[in-house]
Amino acid sequence: MFRCIRCHEPLPSDASLFGVRCDNCGGKVFYKEHPNVKKVLKAR
Ligand SMILES: [Zn+2]
């Protein structure tokens, strides 16, 4: 998931990062947000 670096509005997940603009502020810089998901390692 990507968020606008200026207003932190999330982008739609299917948005291409090329040529897309934030609907909220028109920003074109985004950062990738790591979902708060713990990696589950199954070690048997
Ligand atoms: Zn924005």
Distance 32 CA to ligand 1 centre (A): 14
Among positive and negative, which fits the CA dihedral 16, 20, 24, 25? positive
According to the model, what pLDDT value does residue 29 have? 86
What three-state secondary structure class fits 3?
A: strand
According to the model, what pLDDT value does residue 7 have? 94
Distance 44 CA to ligand 1 centre (A): 44
The architecture CATH gives domain 1-44: Single Sheet (2.20)
According to the model, what pLDDT value does residue 3 have? 87
Q: For 7-41, b where at least 16 C-beta lie within 10 A, e where not — what string? A: eeeebeeeeeeeeeebeeeeeeebeeeeeeeeeee
Distance 21 CA to ligand 1 centre (A): 8
Tens of pLDDT, residue by residue, the chain (44 residues): 788 899 998 887 665 656 788 889 999 888 887 766 667 778 77
Distance 29 CA to ligand 1 centre (A): 8
Predicted TM-score (pTM) of the model is 0.59
Domain extents in the chain:
1-44
Interatomic CA distance for residues 3 and 36, integer angstroms: 14
